[in-house]
Amino acid sequence: MAVVNPGTPMHSHGSAVLQKHEFVWIKDYLYSQAGIVLNDGKQALVSGRLDKRLRYHGLSSYSEYFRMIGKPGHEQEASMALDLLTTNETYFFREPKHFEFLKSHCLNTHPNNRPLRVWSAASSSGEEAYTLAMLTAEFCKADQVEIIGTDISTRVLEKARRGLYPMSAAEKIPTPLLKKYCLKGSDEYDGFFLIDPVLRNRVKFKHANLIEKLPELGQFDVIFLRNVMIYFDIPTKQRLVERIQHYLRPGGYFIVSHSESLNGMKSDLQMVSPSIYRKTGHG
């Protein structure tokens, strides 16, 4: 890994300025660690998310910080930098057509002889996985469904396991489900709500980097991988789709964001409707 030159100039208010060569370094680092392509023009995002870490360590340049996270003994800080740069916005009941599809094509027709298994493959702070939990709880007993959420960021996984969200995050949750599965915070938790522990127990969160060797997760009936592939280049997307489809049962569904598609990619997946694909064969 190239060492970049120290001596980044400072703004008058004391923040380091992210230099062009430093941005190139972090782009290469992020691509090698997470497969994410950082587009030019994202300098403000990088400095906005890492500035506090420089201040915390009393460093005057991004070069010093990057040198530090490349050294043995600083794995935790490197992991935190990765966490800060890979966390994406998410919310409850995002792209609701996908949940309507799940209701009509999976929940009403799933055989009773085995649990319905659903994977939220980039679960971030847990909103997608808990949306799936609320939805499936309306149709399935606890032992009839298994929901797994995975993410590269250990920090957001901790938040997901806790299941505590600001009240503003509840606006897309249908009122009956909000009343049934969420607890209103009081005292120090005023202005927050907690996912009911009974529902929280239906979801297991695990750490996984999608571009590295994945943990043993078993096979799934539905895999959600939404708003992730937009950050990858075509070769990384191709490898990711090849890897993830192995976790899908024949006849199972692979769901990406409405802004994404698998056009031009080799896979065992056939488009059912835009953003929804089915693995060939029968489950």
Dump the DSSP string for 75-110.
HHHHHHHHHHHH-----TT-SHHHHHHHIIIIITT-
Catalytic (active site) residue 202: no
Q: Per the residue annotation, which of 28, 40, 49, 187 is the catalytic one?
A: 49
Q: Classify residue 196 by its DSSP letter.
A: -
Report the C-alpha gap between 266 and 97 in whole angstroms: 26
- Phi-psi group of 166: left, alpha or beta (phi > 0 → left; psi -120 to 50 → alpha; rest → beta): beta
Catalytic (active site) residue 49: yes
Residues in CB range of 31: below 8 A, 6 or more apart: 37, 38
Phi, psi of 261 (to 5 degrees): -155, 165
Q: Per the residue annotation, which of 67, 114, 117, 151 is the catalytic one?
A: 151
CA distances from 82 to 88, 105, 123, 212, 219 (A): 12, 37, 16, 14, 28
Residues in CB range of 209: below 8 A, 6 or more apart: 33, 34, 152
Q: Classify residue 124 by its DSSP letter.
A: T
CA angle 260, 261, 263 (to 5 degrees): 145
Report the C-alpha gap between 280 and 165 in whole angstroms: 38
Q: Classify residue 212 by its DSSP letter.
A: S
Write out the two tokens for 113.
Answer: 């002889």
Identify residue 138 by its one-letter amino acid code.
Answer: E
Q: Which residues are catalytic?
A: 49, 151
